[in-house]
Amino acid sequence: MAKGGIKNYVSRRAIKAYCMLRGAKQNPKLAKDYVLLRFHVFLSKLGNKLNFYHEPKLKSIVSAKIELTQACPSKCITCNFWRINSMMNGCEIKENKLKHGEFEDLLRQLKKMNCNAVQLLGGETLAYRRAPELIKLASLLGMKTNIITNGILMTPEIAKEIGESGLTTIGFSIDGPKKINDHIRGHKDAFEKQINAIKLIQKYDKENKIHKSICVTISVPNVEYLDKIMDIANEVGIKEVSYYMMSTYSEDTKEQTDDLFKEKVGSLEFMVPSSLAAKDKFLLDKKRKEILKKAKEYGIVVRGQFFTKEMVDVDKAIRREDKFCITPYKFCTIDCYGHVYPCDLLRYSFGNIRKNSLKEILNSARYSKFSKIYIKKFKDIKICRYCPLYGPI
């Protein structure tokens, strides 16, 4: 590892350790369960090598994502939400959407499982009109809350409700200057509407308590303009910009995941053409330097895998290789039909919150079945290599 690489690695570990210690103080039960869980996952991995099976049990959840809706007014070229009308794994939709009271009950169940943070997402988060009420409830229950929005549906009323909801963080998706952004987002006014949304939230977040950032998904059409987003952030007074590599995988990758689990599991969410993935390392490096220069000039913090992870193999979009991902043991995604999954890309339904409690679902035979396959085969689950959390950079 180069000298700068070691320095970055050490500072990242130090920040992580600090955050963990701070989190442990705020939520000691969660911290204790999490440390125990890591130990059990370690035993499971060891058991796998030595041919005995040990199952990690989930007592607490560190964080969760609730997909409030799969609807979206945008037509992004990098995303399939707006295109797909089936469960995200390709199964037919048989259930009705969760009612508001069921979302509220879910939040209470998450709290009982010591959950520290919830992400309320879509599709487009604000396409679920009562999202601010859920943010408010989650905040009252003591959980941190995060939303990401394309801003298209933002109104002064919604901004006011969000401003008063106790929301912890909001990400505004912007993929470039107007022309590029609107092309990627498939909506002719996406850029203006997002800028308007930022201004409205700034206006109604009177005490400036909500952490605001711009989220950028890097793809071929915007790679040349990545540094321009720093100018936009500076103009609208946003002090953090996160750059993420676009996730992309083929139908074969989804099918390989389905074959491993012997059912429809691979998500269709980011099964978008790999030709959209920015692969020019030279250009990416150049842009990274330009962004960092502007970050210094404007006093803006930059985040996201584009800065925090090493470039591994952009062509094959491989990051994780054979590294074990603990996400299914500390996190869960719940969709708008009530199904509980280990994460976004592995849509293996453990059960439905309409039939069982979250705790029962996460301690069920279905969960064990998943866990057995996952522990045994994690190196072979190809779709995980394309996860936005473990993207190519």
Ligand X SMILES: C[S@@+](CC[C@H](N)C(=O)[O-])C[C@H]1O[C@@H](n2cnc3c(N)ncnc32)[C@H](O)[C@@H]1O
CB of 218 to ligand X, least distance (A): 9
Q: Which one, 31 or 79, has the nearer CB to ligand X?
A: 79
Interaction mask 142-161, ligand SF4, x per CB under 6 A: --------x-----------
Give the nearer residue to ligand SF4 in terms of CB position, either 74 or 349: 74
Query: Could you say which of 72, 120, 226, 361 contacts ligand SF4 (CB under 6 A)?
Result: 72
Distance, CA of 117 to CA of 120 (rounded, Å): 10
Interface mask toward ligand X for 214-243; x: CB under 6 A: -x-x--------------------------
Contact flag: residue 76 with ligand SF4 (CB under 6 A): yes
191 binding ligand X? (CB under 6 A): no
Number of residues forming the site for ligand SF4 (CB under 6 A) = 11
User: Does residue 152 belong to the site contacting ligand X (CB under 6 A)?
Assistant: no
Q: Choose between 72 and 265: whose C-beta lies nearer to ligand X.
A: 72
User: CB under 5 to 8 A by kind: which of ligand X, ligand SF4, none does 121 bind?
Assistant: ligand X
Q: Please choose which of ligand X, ligand SF4, none residue 215 contacts, taking the beta carbon within 5 to 8 angstroms, the exact cut-off set by kind.
A: ligand X
165 vs 247, beta carbon nearer ligand SF4: 247
87, 114, 116, 123: which one binds ligand SF4 (CB under 6 A): 123
Q: Is 205 in the site for ligand SF4 (CB under 6 A)?
A: no
Residue 82 binds ligand SF4, judged by CB under 6 A: yes
Which residue among 60, 69, 74, 165 contacts ligand SF4 (CB under 6 A)?
A: 74
176: region left, alpha or beta (phi > 0 left; psi from -120 to 50 alpha)? left
Q: Which of 165, 173, 181, 257 binds ligand X (CB under 6 A)?
A: 173
Angle of helix 156-163 relative to helix 190-204, nearest 10 degrees, comes to 40
* Window 260 to 299, contacts with ligand X (CB under 6 A): 270, 272
Per partner kind, with CB cut-offs from 5 to 8 A, the member of ligand SF4, ligand X, none near residue 388 is: ligand X
Q: Does 72 bind ligand X (CB under 6 A)?
A: yes
- SS3 labels along the chain: CCHHHHHHHHHHHHHHHHHHHHHHHHCHHHHHHHHHHHHHHHHHHHHHHHCCCCCCCCCCCCEEEEECCCCCCCCCCCCCCCCCCCCCCCCCCCCCCCCHHHHHHHHHHHHHCCCCEEEEECCCHHHCCCHHHHHHHHHHCCCEEEEEECCCCCCHHHHHHHHCCCCCEEEEECCCCHHHHHHHHCCCCHHHHHHHHHHHHHHHCCCCCCEEEEEEEECHHHHHHCCHHHHHHHHHCCCEEEEEECCCCCHHHHHHHHHHHCCCCECCCCCCCHHHCCCCHHHHHHHHHHHHHHHHHHCCEEECHHHHCCCCECCCCECCCCCCCCHHHCEEEECCCCEEECCCCECCCCEECCCCCHHHHCCCHHHHHHHHHHHHHHHHCHHHHHCHHHCCC
Residue 66 touching ligand X (CB under 6 A): no
Q: Distance of CA 15 to CAs 11, 12, 116, 199, 276, Å? A: 6, 5, 18, 31, 33
**Residue 121 found at the interface with ligand X (CB under 6 A):** yes
Q: How far is the CB of 198 from ligand X (least distance, A)?
A: 12
Which one of 34, 58, 66, 81 is in contact with ligand SF4 (CB under 6 A)?
81
Task: Answer yes or no whether residue 70 interacts with ligand X by CB under 6 A.
Answer: no
Distance from chain centroid for Cα 210: 18
Among ligand X, ligand SF4, none, what binds residue 125 when CB lies within 5 to 8 Å by partner kind?
ligand X
From ligand SF4, ligand X, none, which one binds at residue 153 (CB under 5 to 8 Å depending on kind)? none
Residues that bind ligand X (CB under 6 A): 72, 76, 78-79, 121-122, 124-125, 148-150, 173, 215, 217, 244, 246-248, 270, 272, 388
